[in-house]
Structure formats: structure tokens, C-alpha cells
Structure 1
């Protein structure tokens, strides 16, 4: 699709800087064109070792994302929506960091396009949220959305989707509630649960069956660690979650949340 758009632009004589990023941030909303971002005063070349999407070292022209998030506060909640329907739920605080794990908006220059993600696929452009020093912030693969079309200021997930909530009788520091927070960070970008969520990417994780109901023993944990190591097919898209990104204790709490939600099925 992107190739056709660029080809059509050539035929019509329009500039190839047609891609745009919509920032829906209330009073500070605005639209950025590719050409504007490539001329941003803070744009620079950054190097990303072992890029999450390309699985190799990459170099990008990029702008610190915090420089574009005018008016956004650390307690705010954002959602990055990709062209393919991937919807990454993002706490604002890490995106505003100037130290440690730092978020960048990588900008694809149509005059120097990025390689395809795999044979027959598109690139990660026109906009891609990447991180320098991601280990310092325990950044998960789901916090690297590519083909980003918009970044929106949203109400927190718990307010928008009450069907995702654990039993309200649980204490705030209960492991199930901690697992719910991990679910939002690592799973909600691709999956719905009880029909709740904005993504159209992966299957629902509770309706009709929760994975804890059909994965025996510790196979669910093994699957989350290395999906292709448990079952392989060419169209598989789920990334593995290493122990650096999702420590064993966190993985246990995430699975605990899923198991808890078996008793809270709510058909959409």
C-alpha cells in the first residue's frame, strides 16, 4: 500500500513528503509532515543496537519524542496507533525521559527509505517509536510501535475498559493487580480481553477461552518467552519476551492475572 501511494505521488508530481503524524493532545494537538520532522531543530542520527523490529543494528534520523509531546505530563496516558491497527498503550512518564531509556520518533526519509521488515513486507516507516538504552527502563517490545500514524492522549485503560478489571475486592498491591499493569504494558497492544481493547491485531485472551485454560503446566510461560519455540508458522507475529524485558516474577504475575480473569468472563 505504501509503495502504491509513493508511486502515485510520483505520477502526480506531488512531493514524497506526504506522510503525516497526527498528535491528538487536546489543546496542543497538531499534525507533523515528514519534511517538517526531518528539518526539526532537534533531529539527529541515532544508532539502535539489535533493533526490536529489524533484529539487527539500525541507524535512524530521529527526534526526541518528548520534544513533540507539548503539554503532556508524566501522569498522562497515551496511545500510539499504527496503520495496521496495532495500538500501543503508553504511560507518558517514560516517553518524557531525557536520561536512561529514551524514546525517539524515527522518521523515514522517502529519498532514503528503510529496508523492508522481511521479504515481501513493508518497512517500519513512515514513523517508528524507538528507544536508546531500553534496558535501563525495562522497555518491552510492545513499546516499539512501527508504522505509527497517530499518538493520542487517552483516559487510562481501566477507565476506558472496565471489563479488563480484576476483582475490585483485591488490594491495590495484590499480585493480580500488578499482573493487570503488566498486561496493559505487554499484551494490550495486540490483544483484547473480554472484547475490551482498541487493538484488532491478535485474538481475545478470555473469550471464548483463556490461554491458561488450554496451555498445560508451564507451557504458557514457555510460549510467552519464545512463541516460535513452541509452535511455528510463517505468519506468526508475536514476539518473545525475554527475562530482561519480563523477569520471571513479572511473568508469573502476568499469568496470574490471566488465570484470575477466567472467573471474570464477560462476553462483548
Structure 2
């Protein structure tokens, strides 16, 4: 066996072992619970589902999955959830759409070690072992940042506004800035911090030391958000583009208003 074949074999075995050992942690205010892939695949509500136009795989996919609501014991629609991925991605989500049985429906997809999912690209892993997917996402305006893959932990927490006051615009900020703050929470916060505030460890801070509205001139920031690779083409780029179906012109304008506003509200990172 040559070195290349040996490396491939070892990587395959490690990946297989990782799937077998995978555990999802639930921290929902009633202690911490860990569920293995085997336990979730054997869940009484587990079933095979079809996801149309999967956000990560860019095509229709089939998964063995459990309704997310079935795992959220004690969680109420007014609660707030955070979904942490193993790579530091931290999605924030109101519990209401996660619990809904109509409109958008949230599912926890579980990767079966016996039937591993495709990789997300050359040299990349799959979306497993756990992946939050949605049927009919448009009904609840679920964006791509609410599809965390390689999911590791689901937590019930206080809302963002209570946990991170450094993110709040001024009390007299315009309605456009306030609306932009909502878009920031939905579309940016899973990857970025701002003023050091947030739980994501995935992307750079958007205000410290400099806010992107301070160094992108003209319409380049808009163009970058719409299609990052159109301005900075590099294979390691991870930021997705936000087309008008995901972020309307008005929503994008509001987001830029919020970022510009926060450029004048920098706080030191402790």
C-alpha cells in the first residue's frame, strides 16, 4: 500500500469513526442532554424527507430526519434558540418557526454512518453529522444562515438584545437603522461579531477595528454582499452571496444603514 492510499484509507476510517461517535448536545434550560447519531436515527419520529433546493448542496436532497420540535422539550414559541456548529458558526433563531407544524417546518437531518452524505466540495467534509434543514422555508422567511450544518449544540438563551447590548443602535436611531439591526441578526450574526459582541467564532468583527462602511467606497460593499467572489475571488472564501430573493434591496439598504450607524458606536473589545 503506497502512502497516498494509506492516507485516504486513514481519512475514511477517521470520518467513519467520527460519525459513529457523533453527539448532539441540547441545553434547553432543563440540564444538558447528549444524543448520539444512533439514538436520533432510532427516534420514533424519524423519517425520510425530501428537501427541495437544499441551501448547502444546491439541489434536492433526501435525509433521515427528526422534526426539530420533537427535540425541544419545554421550549415555548416566545423563547430564543442558538444553534452552534463545530466550526464556530452560531445561528440565532426565534423558537416559533422551529416549533411550527405549519408553514416552514424545521428538521434535524442525521447522517447515517452506513450511508454518508456527499461532501460539500473538494477537500471538504459533508454537512453532517447533524444539519438543520427546512421544508417550505419561505413561509417563515428562513434565510440561509438558519441552515447550520455540522451542528453540535442547540441552546435556549436570552434574546440577542439582552445578551449583547453592544449591538444595540441608539435609542433615537431611525426606523431604517432599527430594521437593519433585525437583518444583521438574521444574516450576519451567525458568522460575525460586532463590537466584540456575539458568540460566533467564524468571521471577523464588523466594527472593530474598522467597519466595512468605512473602507468600501461607492457601491462596492453592496456588490460584495451580493456576490463576494466578484470582488475577492479566492478558493478559501466562505461568505455566501445574498441575492435579492434572500435580501431585498430595502433590507440590504437597511442593513447598510445599521452598519454605518454602528461605525459611530464603537466599543472596545475586552
TM-score, shorter chain, exceeding 0.5: yes
Q: Is the 8 A contact 1:87 1:189 kept in 2?
A: yes
TM-score relative to the length of structure 1: 0.92
Q: Which moved more, 1:200-209 or 1:47-56?
A: 47-56
* Structure-2 change in CA distance of 1:208 and 1:62 (3 Å): same
Shift of 1:86: 0.7
CA RMSD of superposed structures (Å): 2.0
1:7 aligns with 2:13: yes
* Structure-2 change in CA distance of 1:16 and 1:75 (3 Å): closer
Instruction: Tell me the alpha carbon deviations over residues 48-68 of structure 1, each in whole angstroms, 9 at most, x when there is no partner.
Output: 222111122211111110111
Q: Is the 8 A contact 1:179 1:257 kept in 2?
A: yes
Shift of 1:99: 1.3
Structure 1: gaps spanning 5 or more residues: none
Q: Is the 8 A contact 1:140 1:241 kept in 2?
A: no
Secondary structure at the aligned position of 1:151 is classed as strand
| Alignment partners' CA distance in 1, 2:173 and 2:255 | 16
Matches within 5 A, 1:119-268: 119-170=122-173, 174-268=175-269
Instruction: Tell me the alpha carbon deviations over residues 85-105 of structure 1, each in whole angstroms, 9 at most, x when there is no partner.
Output: 111111111111111111110
Q: Which residue matches 1:27? A: 30
Instruction: Tell me the alpha carbon deviations over residues 150-207 of structure 1, each in whole angstroms, 9 at most, x when there is no partner.
Output: 1001111111111111112337xx2211111110111011001111111111111111
Matches within 5 A, 1:74-153: 74-153=77-156
| Alignment partners' CA distance in 1, 2:177 and 2:226 | 20
Secondary structure at the aligned position of 1:27 is classed as coil
TM-score relative to the length of structure 2: 0.91
**Count of aligned pairs between the two proteins:** 261
Q: Which residue matches 2:5? A: none
| Alignment partners' CA distance in 2, 1:46 and 1:103 | 11
Secondary structure at the aligned position of 2:34 is classed as strand
Structure 2: gaps spanning 5 or more residues: 1-8
Q: Which moved more, 1:82-91 or 1:28-37?
A: 28-37
Shift of 1:226: 1.3
Q: Is the 8 A contact 2:19 2:129 kept in 1?
A: no
| Alignment partners' CA distance in 1, 2:220 and 2:48 | 41
Q: Is the 8 A contact 1:62 1:105 kept in 2?
A: yes
